[in-house]
Amino acid sequence: MFQKECARIFEENAYVKLVVRHVLFGGCRLAWSRLRDSDIYTAIDWNKFKQWVKETHHKNADTSWVLRYSKEYCYVFDNPNTASTILTLNKDKRRMVMSALANLSKYLGLYKQWKNIVEDTGLKWQKRSSLDTIIDLLNFNMDNVKQWLRDAVTQLPKPHATVLVFNALTGLRPSEGCNSCKLITQLSKQGKLNDYLDRDLMMLQHFKYKDLFLRRSKNAYISFITSDLLQHTLKNKPLLKYSQVDSALNKRGFNNQMNKLRKLYATMLRKYLPREVINMLEGRVSEDLFVRCYYKPTLMKVRRKVVRATKPLQNELLQLLS
């Protein structure tokens, strides 16, 4: 009688399938086939989960990967024994999948079960080690990245290509570059671009837009641009999210190497600027240290060196964009 009543409830309400199984039965797979074959994917309201993710994360953060990996790997809650498949992923993807599933478990009220799965499977929250960073530096080939950039710029739609060029010439992180291009376009349309752009220095003042550019561990304070780069950005109007640029690259068969554009930028600057200044330009200093460095005569000298360092690459890329 009890089994028949549970089966009826499960048939009528998909969400109850999930709650009853994991709360009442402690996450164990039930013995009878009707309940054993229930699909957790169909039991989740993905639109509500998507909204929950937006509300609980930085409002301008790209959270599309949370939804994507949650959908792809939610089966581990249905059968915890399958969580071992996550161990076969490379370190970076494994960390993102685990983060996505942690978010999903919190949304569903199953975080304790997720912690048990992590412990039982031997999953580790592994950050990039110093050795990984050194290996990346040794394997970094500036010429290969430049060639990738040239090929991508010639094949992508103009707005997407503009984002790549913008990132390469400012050293911004992928999502920051998208936000900056979008902000330039929107403020220009409103006649408020000078709120963001210091015309005397041709310097973008990211620090004025804290919600977009100042985060707990990743910041962007300022970027120097040229009038030519500005005009191309205004002309092509790249109102894009990072996920859209990533998708456009994938559809055309390109591996996404946007993170390497930041290394390319730093490498170009090393010949002209000390490491401390490069760290400031790439947002790797504290807010207090940035404030102490914010002195216009000094910034004018920095600007001249940045323009000199990036000019050869800018001339080539803007010609491809034209």
Please state, in angstroms and as integers, the Cα–Cα distance from residue 229 to each residue in 178, 189, 258, 286, 322, following that order.
14, 17, 18, 28, 11
What's the whole-number mean pLDDT along residues 139-152? 90
User: Distance (Å, rounded) from C-alpha 43 to C-alpha 127?
Assistant: 32
pLDDT given at position 4: 52
**The whole model's pTM is what?**
0.69
Does residue 111 carry a pLDDT above 60?
yes
pLDDT given at position 303: 96
pLDDT digits (tens, 9 = 90+) for 230-251: 999 999 999 999 989 999 999 9
What's the whole-number mean pLDDT along residues 7-23? 47
Please state, in angstroms and as integers, the Cα–Cα distance from residue 5 to each residue in 17, 25, 110, following that order.
12, 15, 24
Q: Which helix (H) or strand (E) holds 309?
A: helix 296-321
Which residues are 214's β-sheet partners?
A: 219
**What spatial distance separates the first Cα and last Cα of the chain, rounded to whole Å?**
74
Does residue 221 carry a pLDDT above 90?
yes
Which residues are 222's β-sheet partners?
A: 205
| Residue type at position 147 | Q
pLDDT given at position 136: 63
Dihedral Cα 47, 49, 52, 57, nearest 10 deg:
-110
pLDDT given at position 26: 41
Structural domain boundaries of the chain? 2-121, 133-321
pLDDT given at position 51: 92
CB 278 within 8 A of CB 245: no
Task: Kindly give the interhelix angle for 158-170 and 296-321, rounded to the nearest 10 degrees.
Answer: 150
Query: Got the DSSP string for 52-74?
Result: HHHHHS-TTS--HHHHHHHHHHT
User: Distance (Å, rounded) from C-alpha 282 to C-alpha 300?
Assistant: 17
pLDDT digits (tens, 9 = 90+) for 28-71: 333 223 333 447 888 889 999 999 998 887 666 678 889 999 99
pLDDT given at position 175: 92
Please state, in angstroms and as integers, the Cα–Cα distance from residue 127 to each residue in 96, 120, 257, following that order.
11, 20, 20
Which residues are 203's β-sheet partners?
A: 198, 224
pLDDT digits (tens, 9 = 90+) for 255-314: 999 999 999 999 999 999 998 899 999 998 877 777 777 777 789 999 999 999 999 999
What's the whole-number mean pLDDT along residues 133-140? 61
pLDDT digits (tens, 9 = 90+) for 167-205: 999 999 999 999 999 999 999 999 999 999 999 999 999
Residue with tokens 């999210």: 241
pLDDT given at position 135: 61
Which positions ≥6 away from 108 have C-beta within 8 Å? 18, 22, 44, 77
User: Distance (Å, rounded) from C-alpha 198 to C-alpha 202?
Assistant: 5
| Residue type at position 13 | N
CB atoms within 10 A of CB 91: 12
Does residue 20 carry a pLDDT above 60?
no
pLDDT given at position 16: 47
User: Distance (Å, rounded) from C-alpha 123 to C-alpha 87?
Assistant: 7
